[in-house]
Amino acid sequence: MLNYDNLVQQMLEAVPEIKPHYEKELEWWDEILPHIVFGDVINPYIISLLKNSQDLDILQRAFQFFEIMANCPDERVAEVLGVTVLERLGDEPEVLKKAMKFMGNKTKEISDDIEKGWGRK
């Protein structure tokens, strides 16, 4: 079952293409917390794919995992999704527009709430 403690490992299993980027980041840190991994590794990777409309399969798997995060009973997991991933996607309207095509219902709901909270929607 997904929880905060296994969040990074579960993401790497869902989207193994991210692993080399994760391992490179490990060179800088003794311990990497989920907010750092999602903020410094996963976000740039996903945003790059969205901007270049590349690797739709990877994007689908990543956003399927985000939907699992959105529905996770561990509030810390949903916090990583909202605060670290979705707020960042919303910083670039064109990126968010592309991302919306891959989002599940709960992920869209959280994203919409965040965008309204920031006054961007």
Q: Residue 46's CB: how many other CB atoms inside 10 A?
A: 25
Spatial contact of 19 and 45, defined as CB atoms under 8 Å apart: no
Spacing of C-alpha 65 from chain mean position: 8
The rounded distance, in Å, linking the Cα atoms of 52 and 28 is: 28
Mean pLDDT, range 14-18, rounded to an integer: 96
pLDDT tens digits, 38-97: 999 999 999 999 999 889 999 999 999 999 999 999 999 999 999 999 999 999 999 999
Spatial contact of 11 and 42, defined as CB atoms under 8 Å apart: yes
**What is the average pLDDT value for the chain, to the nearest integer?**
94
Spatial contact of 115 and 91, defined as CB atoms under 8 Å apart: no
**What pTM value is reported for the model?**
0.94
Mean pLDDT, range 11-25, rounded to an integer: 93
